[in-house]
Amino acid sequence: MRKMNLREYAQYDGLGLAELVRKKEVTPRELAELASQAVEKINPKINGVIETYTDRIESLGDEADNPDAPFAGVPFFLKDLGATEGGRKQEMGSRLAKGNVADHDSFLTQRFKEAGVSILGRTTTPELGFAPTTESILTGKTRNPWNLERIAGGSSGGSSASVAAGIVPISHASDGGGSIRIPAACCGLVGLKPSRGRVTWGPSLDEALNGMALEFAVSRTVRDTAAMLDAVCAPASGDPFIIIQPERPYIEEVGAPGGCSVPL
Is residue 261 over pLDDT 70? Answer: no
User: What does the buried/exposed string (b/e) look like for 64-80 if buried means 16 or more CB atoms within 10 Å of the residue's CB?
Assistant: beeeebbbbbbbbbbbb
Would 253 be classed as within a structural domain? no
Would 218 be classed as within a structural domain? yes
Instruction: Kindly report, residue by residue over 87-124, the tens digit of the pLDDT.
Output: 999 999 999 999 999 999 999 999 999 999 999 999 99
> Model's pTM, two decimal places?
0.95
Q: What is the pLDDT of residue 44?
A: 98
Q: Within 13 Å of residue 135, how many CA atoms lie on the same side as its CB?
A: 9
Is residue 260 over pLDDT 80? Answer: no
Average pLDDT estimate for 217-246? 95
Q: Compute the distance between CA of residue 24 and CA of residue 21 in angstroms, rounded to an integer.
A: 5
Would 121 be classed as within a structural domain? yes
Average pLDDT estimate for 55-79? 96
Q: What is the pLDDT of residue 60?
A: 96
**Count: domains in the chain:** 1
Instruction: Kindly report, residue by residue over 177-201, the tens digit of the pLDDT.
Output: 999 999 999 999 999 999 999 999 9
Sign of torsion, CA 65 162 177 104? positive
Average pLDDT, the chain: 95
Question: Which residues form the domain of 90?
Answer: 6-238
Instruction: Kindly report, residue by residue over 139-183, the tens digit of the pLDDT.
Output: 999 999 999 999 999 999 999 999 999 999 999 999 999 999 999
> Which residues, 6 or more positions from 124, have their beta carbon under 8 angstroms from its beta carbon?
47, 48, 49, 50, 80, 93, 134, 136, 139, 142, 157, 158
Would 250 be classed as within a structural domain? no
Q: Compute the distance between CA of residue 121 and CA of residue 13 in angstroms, rounded to an integer.
A: 19
Is residue 53 over pLDDT 60? Answer: yes
> Which residues, 6 or more positions from 100, have their beta carbon under 8 angstroms from its beta carbon?
89, 90, 91, 92
The residue ranking higher by pLDDT, 3 or 107, is: 107
The residue ranking higher by pLDDT, 18 or 259, is: 18
Q: How confident is the model at residue 262 (pLDDT cuts 50, 70, 90)?
A: low
Would 38 be classed as within a structural domain? yes
Q: What is the pLDDT of residue 255?
A: 86
Give the helix/strand (H/E) hosting 40: helix 28-46
Would 27 be classed as within a structural domain? yes
Would 262 be classed as within a structural domain? no
Q: What is the pLDDT of residue 202?
A: 96
CATH at 111? 3.90.1300.10
Catalytic annotation, residues = 79, 155, 179
Distance set, CA 42 to CA 6, 30, 38, 152, 162 (Å)? 11, 18, 6, 14, 9
Would 204 be classed as within a structural domain? yes
User: What does the buried/exposed string (b/e) look like for 93-111 if buried means 16 or more CB atoms within 10 Å of the residue's CB?
Assistant: bbeebeeeebeebbbbbbb
Is residue 259 over pLDDT 90? Answer: no
